[in-house]
Chains A and B, each alone.
Chain A
Amino acid sequence: MSMNNYNKIVVTIHGIRTTGVWQKEITPALASHGLIPYHINYGYFWATLFFLRPFRESQIEAIRRELINLRKDTGASRISIIAHSFGTFIAMEALRRDNGELKYDRVVLTGSILPRNFDWRTLFDRELVTAIFNVRATSDWVVSLAAFLSGSGGGRNGSGATAGRFSRAAHWLTGLNAGDSGRRKFDFVGARLLDEEIEGHHSIAHDRVRFGKWARFISYPRLPDDILRMLKRKLDALRLVAAKVLRAPADVIRINYFSLHRGVLKMVPGAFDNMTYVPEFELEIDLGQGSTGKAFTSGEPFFVVKDEAAWSGDQLPSSELHKLHPDVSWILSFPIKCPKRQIVVGVINYDCLGSVPDAFRDPESVDAQAVILALKPITLKLVEPCLEAAFLGEYLPEVSI
C-alpha cells in the first residue's frame, strides 16, 4: 500500500509510570483533521527500569523497529510524532540511531527530557525531521530530575558542589543523557523549531484545547477548514485585483497556492480560485523547477510566458507539463515568506487562460515590472497571516474562542 495523498500517520508515545490516557483522548482531534493515529503502548514502565540502561535501551530499540515496520507497512515516507516525557527520548533516540530508514515529518514534544543541546541542526540538515514543536512547562520538576540524573545538576561551590557530585555519580550509574528541555528552551534556534511555554507541571500540556492545535500543526500543509475558508476569500479578492491591473477579464485569471509536501511542491487541496481543470490538482513540481519551483528556492518572484505554442522557460518534465491546462499563457509566482521566521513556506501563482495581456508581452518591460510590483505587496499582505497561522498550528484571530 502506498500513501500518496495528504493523509499522515501520527504516532503517539507515552512516558514512564503511565499507560498514556492522553493518547486515547487525543484521537478525536487527530481524526477530525484527517490524521491517522497510531498509539504506541509499551505498558507501565517503572521508574527503576528507566534508570537501568539495558532496559531503557531495549525499549528504544523495540520502538525503533516498530516505527520502521509501520513505515514499511503503510508506505509512508515520513511519520509524525506526538511524544511525552520518556516518549520524547525514545522517539528522538530512535531517529538519531537509525540509518536512514526512519524519517519524521512534524513532531510535538511535551515534557521533553531531551538534553537542551540536542543536535537538531544535523537532523534538519539531513532532512530527517521537518519541524518540531516543543511545549515546555514552567514547573516541570520531572524533567529537572532527568537532567540531574544525567550529570548536569549542581554547581561549583558549597551545597551546589555536593549536588554536582551526586549528579555526576547518578549519571555514572544510569548512563543517562537526558535533559530538561521540557522546562527550558533548546539551545538550537531555527525557523523549524517552534517553542511554547505554559504554566504548570509535567503533564499540564495534555488538555483537549491543545490537542486541536497540535493536530493543526501536524496536518500542515493541509489547511484547517477555517484557514482554508479565509484563504479562499483572499485568493478570490486577489484574482479580481490582478484582472483589474492587467485589464483582463476576471474569468480568465486564476490563482493557486503551492506548498512543499514530501519533497515536492503540490497545490494545497482547496487552496485555489477559478480552477476547474482536474489534472492540475495532481501537479508535482520539483524544487528549482519551473516558475513555482524557482520562486520557492530563490525567495524571489518568477515569471514565465508561453511563446507561441511552447513554454520558452525552464520547463517542467513532460509528465507534469501535460497536467497543465493547455490554454495557460503565463504564470507569475510569488514566494510566501513567514515574516517572523524568514523562510519560504509556499508559492502563490497567478496565471491566465488565453492570450497574453499587453503588459506581459515583453517580460523585461517597465509595464511588466510595474504589474508585478503592484501585485506583490497586496498578495503578501493578504495571504501571509493565514499561512503563518497554518504553519504554526494556530487559529486565526477571527475564529479563536
Chain B
Amino acid sequence: MKIQTIPIKPSSSAAGSKPGIFMFEVTGQPDPNNEVVQRARELLRESSVSSAVVEAFEQSVGDGRSESRK
C-alpha cells in the first residue's frame, strides 16, 4: 500500500513557484500497518469519534478486526 500526496503545479504558475494543490492517492492493497494508517487510527482514537467512523476506516484499510467483532 502506498499513500502519497502529489503536488500539482498549476499550468499558469510562474517557474519555481510553490505548488498549492495536492492530490491524495492510495495505491496497492490495504495495509493496516502502514505509517499513515497507524497515524489515522491514532487520530480517530484520540478524537473519540463514534464506532461507526472507526469501523468504516478499519474496513477501508483492510483490518479484519471490525468484522470479527460482529
Mark A residues whose CB is within 8 Å of B: 241, 244-245, 247, 290-291, 294, 298, 300-305, 307, 311-315, 359, 363-364, 366-374, 376-378, 381
Residues of B within 8 A of A298 (CB): 23
Task: Please tell me if the beta carbons of B10 and A378 are within 8 angstroms of each other in the complex.
Answer: no
Task: Please tell me if the beta carbons of A367 and B39 are within 8 angstroms of each other in the complex.
Answer: yes
Residues of B within 8 A of A374 (CB): 40, 43-44, 53, 57
Residue of A nearest to B59 (CB): A377
Residues of A within 8 A of B3 (CB): 369, 373
Residues of B within 8 A of A307 (CB): 18, 20
> Out of A300, A314, A371, which one reaches B10, CB within 8 Å?
A314
State how many angstroms separate the Cβ of B2 from the closest Cβ of chain A. Answer: 11
Task: Please tell me if the beta carbons of B24 and A304 are within 8 angstroms of each other in the complex.
Answer: no
> Out of B10, B24, B43, B60, which one reaches A377, CB within 8 Å?
B60
Task: Please tell me if the beta carbons of B21 and A300 are within 8 angstroms of each other in the complex.
Answer: no
> Out of B5, B19, B26, B53, which one reaches A241, CB within 8 Å?
B53
> Out of B23, B43, B52, which one reaches A370, CB within 8 Å?
B43
Residues of A within 8 A of B37 (CB): 370, 373
Given contacts A303-B22, A369-B39, A378-B52, 4 further A-B contacts (CB under 8 A): A301-B24, A314-B20, A369-B40, A377-B57
State how many angstroms separate the Cβ of A256 from the closest Cβ of chain B. Answer: 18
Residue of B nearest to A306 (CB): B20
Residues of A within 8 A of B35 (CB): 366
Task: Please tell me if the beta carbons of B24 and A372 are within 8 angstroms of each other in the complex.
Answer: yes
At the interface, is chain A mostly helix, strand, loop or mixed?
helix
Residue of A nearest to B7 (CB): A364
Residues of A within 8 A of B4 (CB): 369
Task: Please tell me if the beta carbons of A313 and B39 are within 8 angstroms of each other in the complex.
Answer: no
Residues of A within 8 A of B7 (CB): 363-364
Whether A315 contacts B10 in the complex (CB less than 8 A), given A307-B20, A381-B56, comes out as: yes
State how many angstroms separate the Cβ of A292 from the closest Cβ of chain B. Answer: 11
Task: Please tell me if the beta carbons of A373 and B40 are within 8 angstroms of each other in the complex.
Answer: yes
Task: Please tell me if the beta carbons of A302 and B22 are within 8 angstroms of each other in the complex.
Answer: yes
CB contacts under 8 Å to A, within B6-53, are 7-8, 10-11, 18-26, 35-37, 39-40, 42-44, 47-50, 52-53
Residues of B within 8 A of A291 (CB): 21
Task: Please tell me if the beta carbons of B43 and A245 are within 8 angstroms of each other in the complex.
Answer: yes
Task: Please tell me if the beta carbons of B47 and A373 are within 8 angstroms of each other in the complex.
Answer: no
> Out of B18, B21, B43, which one reaches A302, CB within 8 Å?
B21
Task: Please tell me if the beta carbons of B8 and A368 are within 8 angstroms of each other in the complex.
Answer: no
State how many angstroms separate the Cβ of A379 from the closest Cβ of chain B. Answer: 9
Residue of A nearest to B11 (CB): A314
Task: Please tell me if the beta carbons of A312 and B18 are within 8 angstroms of each other in the complex.
Answer: yes
Task: Please tell me if the beta carbons of A241 and B49 are within 8 angstroms of each other in the complex.
Answer: yes
Most chain A CB within a 10 A radius of its CB, from B7, B10, B36: B36
Task: Please tell me if the beta carbons of B25 and A294 are within 8 angstroms of each other in the complex.
Answer: no
> Out of A302, A367, A377, which one reaches B23, CB within 8 Å?
A302
> Out of B18, B36, B50, which one reaches A369, CB within 8 Å?
B36
State how many angstroms separate the Cβ of A359 from the closest Cβ of chain B. Answer: 8
> Out of B25, B40, B50, B56, which one reaches A371, CB within 8 Å?
B40
Whether A301 contacts B21 in the complex (CB less than 8 A), given A377-B57, A378-B57, comes out as: no
Residues of B within 8 A of A244 (CB): 47-49
Task: Please tell me if the beta carbons of B43 and A363 are within 8 angstroms of each other in the complex.
Answer: no
Residues of B within 8 A of A313 (CB): 8, 10, 19-22
